[in-house]
Structure 1
């Protein structure tokens, strides 16, 4: 490894399994987050398996402002797995980003603003 640059996810895989993927295999991100380095989200797969996973995954879920608000404020103590099931969200990263206001930033931060957006002053 010395003197050679490797992508961070490959280093994460190496640290967990003490090896790089076998020849002819690739690392697939189970969480579908390309920058993820969590070794529990990384799986060694063949090139064809990786392509199959990429082409068969569904389009990202588009949440309404009300759903985002609920995730951000009403489900704060709910396990991410449960929120994923309720809103049909594939990745826990999506939930984390909503709760930390990294995504859906346009959604109001309090119920007054939500009611105002809906026209229910």
Structure 2
């Protein structure tokens, strides 16, 4: 089973991984984490976790380099755990991740697919 979730989000350098390397204070990172968690929860609600391991693909619409989305990917992945969609984000439950770019939707398109 594959599920597609669309998260409307204006992605800019403030959510980029390069921001972390610039030495952003932990309280700022924590605020970003809470904001993303609330946004994801508002879209998908509280869910039952997948029973089998999954692969996650996130496609981002922004001007950032693909790898510069790793911070945002992690924030969203943690939010999927908090919403109950994923049991955990360890390699026991998430076997594969992919980050790509897209232009069809202003935000992030998430695909979660069970691995059989």
Q: Which TM-score applies when normalising by structure 2?
A: 0.24
Q: For the pair shown, which has the larger CA radius of gyration, 1 or 2?
A: 1
TM-score (norm: length of structure 1): 0.23
Higher RCO (CA-CA < 8 Å; seq separation 6+): 2
